[in-house]
Structure 1
Amino acid sequence: MNTLSKKWLTGVAALLLLHAGLPAYADQRESVNESRAVAANEKIYLEVMSGEVSIKAVDGNQFKISGKLDEKATGYTLESKDGFTRFEMTMPRQVNYRGSEKSNGADLQVEVPTGSSIEFKGVNSDVSLAGVTGGSKISTVNGNISAAKLSVLVQLNTVNGEINSKDSSGEIELSSVNGKIIDVGSSGRLNYSVVNGEIKARTSAEEVSVSTVNGDAELKMTGTQHLKLSTVNGEIEAEVAKSASPRISGSSVSGDIELKLDSSINARFDIQASAGGSIDNKLSSDKASKAKYGPARSLQFTLGSGNGSVDLSTVSGDVTLGKL
């Protein structure tokens, strides 16, 4: 064997020995693979402080959870008895959650009966869930929530995260601080709330309530009969279509409300503006009148039979009425 070949073989052997001496990287997270027979309307409680959790409703009366725990987790507990199932990922008493960091967090897939009800709590957790018809109460701090086809009582709450909801029905509450809410295809009774955030919604809910603080809302509603609007230092743009006699109320402080309605609406209008606020009416030919003393303005008029009502007020903001 020539000298060059010997040197090449020696180098390869050295590399192989070096590689053998290094510990191979392995996922240190504990695995989970559990299932339980449960009731069709099981009450299920999940507590996963960090990571990503996917919850899916399936046919059959079984609770199943699989995947990986957070690398810092000390284990988990699973209890199932008398119609109640509880899963909790146990964590050390002192855990430093930094922002939205979820590297090496839990990665869990959960299957539940369609008719079950779900309660979830997390801190650094992203949650997705679909098809649960018995009620869903989801709460996280630094995380996003994605939901589809939920019904009955739906409560989705996050502090620093985004909520995406699609085709849900029933009594629905969506709230975020420092985040965005996107809601499409919802029906029933809705309550939206953001602080330092944004709302974009397209809904056919019969009742809608909207509250923003330092945030904006863009709403497109069809058939909504009751609407309540509130903003502080924000803007609300609301369209209400195919609602002949809605009952609408709203207020703003240093914020703007723009309301667009069908030209065939039947309602009595009472619009008030103070402290420099303004009223712009593009729905009819009626004009706002100025108060005898001070900067206040007001506008009252009736369209059609006047069966519905639109009562809006602003302090240092603008109110605009328009046609769809």
Structure 2
Amino acid sequence: MKRLLVVVIGLVFAMPLMAEEVDRTLDAAPDGKIDVSNIAGTITLIGWSRNQVEVTGTLGRNVKELVFERDGDKVTIQVKIPRKGGRGTDAELTIRVPENSSLDVSGVSADISVESVRGVQRLQTVSGDVETESFDNDVSAESVSGDVDVEGNKSDTETNIRTVSGDVTLAGGAGVVRAGSVSGGVVIDDGTFSRAHLGTVNGDVIFRAGLRKDGRFLAETVNGDVDVEFAGDVAAKIEVETFNGRIRNCFGPEPERTSKYTPGLELSFTAGSGTGRVEISTMNGDVNLCKK
């Protein structure tokens, strides 16, 4: 009997330490701003047709408070934890928002995932992956240690994506893209761009998309290859340079040695009307330049 009593008392005192389920809703503006902050866990945002914000998920046993409030057109969702931090401070959140909302989302040790949200997006985390879709508005997505993936719909936008340790991918984008990684690759696949600025320190750059007639394209690596396959005709002045690597050109002249004393190569020519500009450089890597 005493043993049973001890077990029951132990369960009673343990209950407050368990994860807390969340299911809360607020009315919201159809095109308002959603501000989300979560230190650890996951943040999933889904656009829907209702003028409401719904938060569901679980809070770790040591989460201090979930702030969920509206001030005018702005809805704030913030996971507060004790100053000392510690275990049990993670939160797994699924947030449904009006589809035309703009987003300002931040995490520390948290993955961020966004789908069907059409407004401006500013997404950043320290340790975690970022995945999102872009529609008719600009997207900025950053991670320090994690991959960043953006799926576009070929509408003209400005997309800024970068990570320190991880890969960066944009598929189906258009307009302006700036993408970079310190230790990881950059892949731009499909779409048509007026501006593209791509760079890595240790990683490859791959560009398989179109460049508009007056477009500007810049790709730089320190230790990595640059593979460019332009979709359609190219109308640009093209300059390519490698310090220690080969240049393969599918639609123009052969590269030349920069000096008889160094292994560097350079390539300079004009394609089509030459109204655009293409600049590619790498320290230690090969360059493949083609069109399809």
**TM-score range, shorter-chain basis?**
0.7 to 0.9
Residue number in structure 1 paired with 2:122: 137
Residues 122-154 of structure 1 show CA distances to partners (whole Å, capped at 9, x for unaligned) of 111112111212211111111112212444121
Residue number in structure 2 paired with 1:37: 27
Q: Does residue 198 of structure 2 align to residue 213 of structure 1? A: no
8 Å CA contact retained: 1:175, 1:193 = yes
Taking only the aligned residue pairs, the percentage that are identical comes to 25
8 Å CA contact retained: 2:227, 2:288 = no
Residue number in structure 2 paired with 1:301: 269
Residues 43-65 of structure 1 show CA distances to partners (whole Å, capped at 9, x for unaligned) of 11111111122111111211111
Taking the TM superposition and a 5 Å limit, the aligned residue runs for 1:1-324 are: 23=11, 28-96=18-86, 105-168=90-153, 169=155, 170-206=157-193, 207-224=195-212, 225-245=215-235, 267-273=236-242, 278-284=246-252, 286-290=253-257, 294-295=261-262, 297-315=265-283, 317-324=285-292
Residues 269-308 of structure 1 show CA distances to partners (whole Å, capped at 9, x for unaligned) of 444455x555444433x34444577436544434444444
CA distance 1:321–1:59, shift in 2 (3 Å): closer
What is the TM-score with the length of structure 2 in the denominator?
0.82
Which has the higher Rg, Structure 1 or Structure 2?
Answer: 1
8 Å CA contact retained: 1:41, 1:113 = yes
Amino acid at match of 1:46: V
What is the TM-score with the length of structure 1 in the denominator?
0.75
Amino acid at match of 1:76: L
Q: Which runs of 5+ in 2 are unaligned?
A: none
Residues 206-225 of structure 1 show CA distances to partners (whole Å, capped at 9, x for unaligned) of 12221111112222113453
Partner SS for 1:94 = coil
8 Å CA contact retained: 1:50, 1:70 = no
CA distance 1:315–1:141, shift in 2 (3 Å): closer
Q: Which runs of 5+ in 1 are unaligned?
A: 1-15, 98-102, 246-266
Q: CA deviation at 1:312?
A: 3.8
Amino acid at match of 1:48: N
Counterpart CA distance in 2 for 1:316 and 1:216 is: 11
Equivalenced residues, count:
283
